[in-house]
Structures are given as structure tokens and as C-alpha cells.
Amino acid sequence: MTADPTISNIWDFSRVSVRRSLALMAAGAAVGLALAGYSLFTAQSTTTLFVPAEDVALVNQQPIARADYYAQLQASFRTDFAHTTPAQRRKVLEDMIREELFVQRGKELDVAAADPDVRSATVNAVEQMAAADAITAEPSDAKLRAYFHAHADKYEQEGVMTVRDMLFATAADGAAAARALRAGEPDAAVLARLRGRDSGKETGQDFYFAAKIHLGNELFDTAAALPSGGVSTPVPQADGVHVLHMLKNTAPQPIAFETARPQVLQDYRNERVRQATVQYQGFLRKRANLLVAKDLR
Amino acid sequence: MRRQGAARLGERLRGLRRAPRGAWLLAGLAASLAGGLWVARAAQVSAELVRSDPEAIAQDAGLFEAGVARGRPVYLRRCASCHGAGGKGDRTLGAPDLTDRDWLYGHGRVSDIEKVIAHGIRAPDRRGWNLAVMPAYGQLVPSATERVPPLSPDEIAAVTDYLLVLEHRPADAAQAAAGARIYAGKGGCFDCHTPDAKGDPAIGAPNLTDRVWLYGDGGPTAIAYSITHGRQGLCPAWAGRLSPLRIREAALYVYALSHRAPRSKVR
């Protein structure tokens, strides 16, 4: 018995062989088909017969993420996956499938068109998606510094004052009190001698915003202009004549960039989010077919 | 010299060309097979990483190490700009140290870390950690969401002294006593930081007794600044931008920054 020379010769690479070419081509085609088939049935966004590794189920091709499943399991039973029973796992999975089915049905029924809660949640979710890119982009130090310098007025330490507001019955008493205080007479002595009283509006240190509320605009403006140790001119008001004695006045101070950096970063991001949201809205309006009633144009 | 080298190279190439075609084919097939096996193995590890219970991976030496190695480039690209290449954090930004086992949110489990990476902190993601913000007590309206009153500079100084006393640091005792009353009363600090000031990981309220500070050096000035101006750090949400696999890998890497690799495969 002798070997078939045509078969024995196909692996002789020093000669041209039609059979070998066909065999290699067929093998290549088979590998290509296998790869294409595998990709087709495992790729996302196509009909697939397999649940991807990162998901626990597909509901009408819509994945239920494994991470969400574990989180839900943990939230429901206050324990990690390893310590849950098969019944608990099944229950959570069934609940999540049910939710997905209802969400999908809700889309089919266009629930968002009628339900204000769904509309609001949808708007919120889309806004968040638009903002997310702005949040993840990390600004450079130079950008942050530029933002800080452009908005320097936002980064100030609030002013602090300790002021005494004294009230007198007449303008003459008020003027005499101001003179005495400037001359260094103690507050208590001046109040006793001129029958004045502390208005009680200010007690101890206050931030400027608080002092403004306590004193009112007119008295606050007068007080803020006083240096530490200064005494105001009498300020007549409905309840009497006020004389302010500024014990300590620390004007608003600019905050250094390094100190304000977290706040600057947050403000910068907020600004980027605002811009991103406006741009996104512009994009949506641009591509929308929008008709407005004549009387509201 | 150079000419001789070129001649030798040419000679070698001619020698290779003389090798039988079958040898080339076999070499190509072997290389393809090896490549295929490598890709298949990588795909298998990827599938195991995303399929496994996150806490179980931390007990599986082989899978854990594979995840950590893959997570490093993800971390360096997405997280290191705030937390630093070594994970030591940045106290000028309020980015926490990830190597110290002191966890603001959750308890430092892989699943906790994964949740932060996926859904962020105060990021625009409703599944993230968005419950609490440190009010700015030196402002007219300290918080947009909580009804807390502003504090005066004296009151802020008193609370600062109280916090110093909690860490057994020198402070004015009388002021600290006044601060304790504000902490437990008017300021409402106890509501987030808990009455014993140990913090609440469910809302990211830091422990105020452990000398671990998120912002600044933990000195009186930095503490008073935080009380006066408030804090609300942010960690971006990466869900939708990174695949579940990449998020899992990054979580494992961050977990490994403060935990040793498991000794053996338990599964």
C-alpha cells in the first residue's frame, strides 16, 4: 500500500498546492466565523444569548448590573452576598426584574408625559448626566488660580466687630457722651452720668452680617466705618440717640488661595456645571422641532 | 565596523529565509495560540473579577492580586490627581488619605469603596453619598438644606476649644465647656458627628476625636476655618464613564492601599 502522493504533497511547502490553499482558506474562514459569532452574541447593544459577566440578568436586553444587585442585597438584608440565603438572593433578583419590567412598561406608556414626579425625576436625572462631565474634569492649578483672582471678592474672611451701642434721651446727652468716651471716660461711667443705657443690640463679638441684622443698616454702616477704639457721632433714631463705641473692628480680610482652594475648586466646578447645563439645554433646543402658540411668541 | 555589522545581520536574515516554510507556519500558529490563550485567560479573569462578590475577592489571593495590578493604572489616571499617586491624599483639597484605614464613608470594604468610585460623593448621581454638608456657621445662612443658626466668632472659638479638648490637646477649659454646650445644642453639631463626636460613616461625618483631619493641619485656625466656612468635598461619579470592571479594579487597588493581600485562595 502506498500513500496518496497528492495528500502527502500538500504539506510540502516548497511546492504550490491548490488543496493546501483551500484547506487553509477554509480554516481561516471557520476561525473568522467563530470570532464573529462570539462577538455578535456577547457584545453589548445586540441581541445576546448570554448574560454579560458584569450583569445578573437581562430584561429585554436591558442589563441589571451585578454591582446594583449586590448593593440592593446588602441594603435589603444588611449583610454581604456570602451571608445571604438563596431565597434572599432570589427575592432581590425577582424584585429587580419586576422593577425593570415596570420601568420598561412605563416608557412604553410614556408615563413621563403625565406624571409630574416622573417628569421631575427625569429632568433631574438628565441634568445630572449633563453635569457629570463637568464634575469629572479636573481643573489645572493655573485655571483655579485664574478663577480665584477673577472672583477675589468671594474669598474674604467675614469682618468681625465688638461694638457697644449706647442710647441717650437727647441729642445734647448723645453729643456729651461721644465727647466723654473719646476722652477716655469708661462706658459705664458715661451711661450713669448722662442717664443713658446699653441698647442691648450687640453683645460680644459679631460677624458683620450678624451685626448688621442686630444694629440695622444705618447703625451698622456707622459702626463699620469706625476703627478699633473709635466713637461715633450721635445717630438720632426713633428710640433715642445712639452713640457707638467700637471696641474692636476687624475689616473683611482676603483669604489666601491656598486656604480657599477647596472652596475655589467647588465654585469652579459649580460654574462649569452651570455652563454645561446651559449648553446642553441649547443643544436640545437646537435639535428640537419647537412650535409656540402665536399669542405667546 | 558598521559595514561588518550590517553584513552579519544580512547573513542572519538570509539564514532565516532559508528556514522551511513549514517552520514559519508552525511558529505563527504557536504564536497565535499563545496569544489566544493569553486573551482567553485575561477575559476569564475579567469575568471572575466582575462576577465575584466584592468582599470574596479580598479573600482570594490570585484574583485579588490580578485586580489590584489592573486597578493601578485606573487609579493613577482617574484618582491620583486628588488623592496622590501614593494615595496619601491632599489636605489642601480635603482629599482623604486612602492608606490609613480611616474611612469617612462606609467601613472600607471593597463594596463601600466601589460605591464611592461608581456614584461619587456629592457628585451629580442620586445613588452616591449626598446626605450631609458641613454648614458654614460664619455665614448668615449656614446651610441650604439644614435649619441651623449662624454662630458668633466667640461661639466658633468655643467649639474649636471643645474639639481640641476631645483630642486631649491644650485649650481653654471654660471656653471648651461653652463649646460643648454649643456642640450639643445650638450648633447642632451632634446631629451629624454624633453626641460622642465619633462621627457617622453613614453620612460621611468625620470622627472628631481621632486626630485624623481631612482639611489643614488640625490646628485651631484650620478647625475654626472649617466651622466658619463649612466644607463639602466632592468625589466624581465614574459609573457610565468607566466600565463595571474598571471600577471594580480601581476599588480593589484602593482597598489594597490599606490592606494586605490575602495569603491564600479561599474559594
Asked if A33 has any chain B CB less than 8 Å from its own CB, the reply is no
Q: Which three cell numbers stand for residue A297?
A: 411668541
Cα A257 to Cα A16, B116, B219, B266: the distances in Å are 77, 28, 19, 51
- What is the per-residue pLDDT across A146-182, written as a single tens digit (0 to 9) for each? 999 999 989 999 999 999 999 999 999 999 999 999 9
> How close does chain A come to B137, measured CA to CA in Å?
10
Mapping DSSP to helix (H, G, I), strand (E, B) and coil, where does residue B231 land?
strand
Using a CB-CB distance cutoff of 8 angstroms, which residues of chain A are in contact with residue B267? Answer: none
What distance in Å separates residue B165's CA from the closest CA in chain A?
23
* Distance of alpha carbon A117 from alpha carbon B191, whole angstroms: 30
Check pLDDT > 50 for residue B266. Answer: no
C-alpha to C-alpha distance for B80 and B250, rounded to whole angstroms? 11
Distance from CA of B102 to the nearest CA of A (A): 21
Residue B102 in 3-state DSSP? coil
Put simply, whether B62 touches A (Cβ < 8 Å) is no
Q: Write down the pLDDT at residue A79.
A: 84
Q: Is the ipTM of this complex over 0.85?
A: no
The letter for the amino acid at B122 is R
Residues of chain B with Cβ-Cβ distance to A82 below 8 Å are 53, 55-56
Candidate from A53, A71, A205 with C-beta closest to B51: A53
| Average pLDDT taken over every residue of chain B | 90
Domain boundaries A156-254, CATH class:
alpha beta
| CA distance to partner chain A, nearest, from residue B257 (Å) | 22
Question: Minimal Cα–Cα distance from B161 to chain A, Å?
Answer: 17
Residues A67, B138: C-beta atoms closer than 8 Å: no
**For chain B, percent of residues with pLDDT exceeding 70:** 95
* A205 to chain B, closest Cα gap in Å: 6
Is the confidence at residue B87, as pLDDT, over 70? yes
Instruction: Tell whether B81 is within 8 A of chain A (Cβ).
Output: yes
**What's the Cα-to-Cα distance from B106 to each of B58, B173, B191, rounded to whole Å?**
16, 34, 18
Return the residue of A nearest to B155 by Cα: A205
A14 vs B contacts (CB less than 8 Å): 20-21
Rounded to an integer, the average pLDDT of B130-154 is: 92
Please give the average pLDDT of every successive group of 10 residues along chain A, which has 297 residues.
56 79 90 85 65 92 91 88 92 96 94 91 88 82 94 92 96 96 95 94 92 95 96 96 97 93 91 92 94 90
For chains A and B, CB pairs below 8 A equal 111
User: Would you tell me which residues 238-267 of chain B have a C-beta closer than 8 angstroms to some C-beta of chain A?
Assistant: 238, 240-241, 243-245, 247-248
B128 vs A165, residue with greater confidence = A165
Write down the mean pLDDT value for chain A.
90
A205–chain B Cβ distance below 8 A for any pair = yes
User: Which residues on B lie below 8 Å from A70 (Cβ)?
Assistant: 53-54, 111
pLDDT at position A181: 96
- What average pLDDT score do residues B153-164 get? 96
* Pairwise CA distance, residues B212 & B215, whole Å: 9
On chain B, the residues whose CB falls within 8 A of the CB of A67 are: 114, 118, 244, 247-248
Cβ-contact A255, A191 below 8 angstroms: no
Q: In this complex, is the C-beta atom of B146 within 8 Å of any C-beta atom belonging to chain A?
A: no
Residue of B nearest to A258 (CA): B92
Length of chain A: 297
Nearest to B140 among A80, A209, A263 (CB): A209
- Per-residue HEC secondary structure of chain A comes to CCCCHHHHHCCCCCCCCHHHHHHHHHHHHHHHHHHHHHHHHHCCCCCCCCCCCCEEEEECCEEEEHHHHHHHHHHHHCCCHHHCCHHHHHHHHHHHHHHHHHHHHHHHCCHHHCCHHHHHHHHHHHHHHHHHHHHHCCCCHHHHHHHHHHCHHHCEECCEEEEEEEEECCHHHHHHHHHHHHCCCCHHHHHHHCCCEECCCCCCCEEHHHHHHHHCHHHHHHHHCCCCCCECCCEEECCEEEEEEEEEEECCEECCHHHHHHHHHHHHHHHHHHHHHHHHHHHHHHHCCCCCCHHHC
Q: Does A125 touch chain B (CB under 8 A)?
A: yes
pLDDT of residue A20: 83
CB-based contact, A285 to chain B, within 8 Å: no
- Residue B228 in contact with partner chain A when CB distance is under 8 A: yes
Burial group, residue B32, by CB count within 10 angstroms (0-12, 13-18, 19+):
exposed
Q: Which of residues 66-85 of A touch B (CB under 8 A)?
A: 66-67, 70-71, 74, 80-82
What is the pLDDT, as a whole number, of residue A38?
79
Q: Are A70 and A77 in contact (CB under 8 A)?
A: no
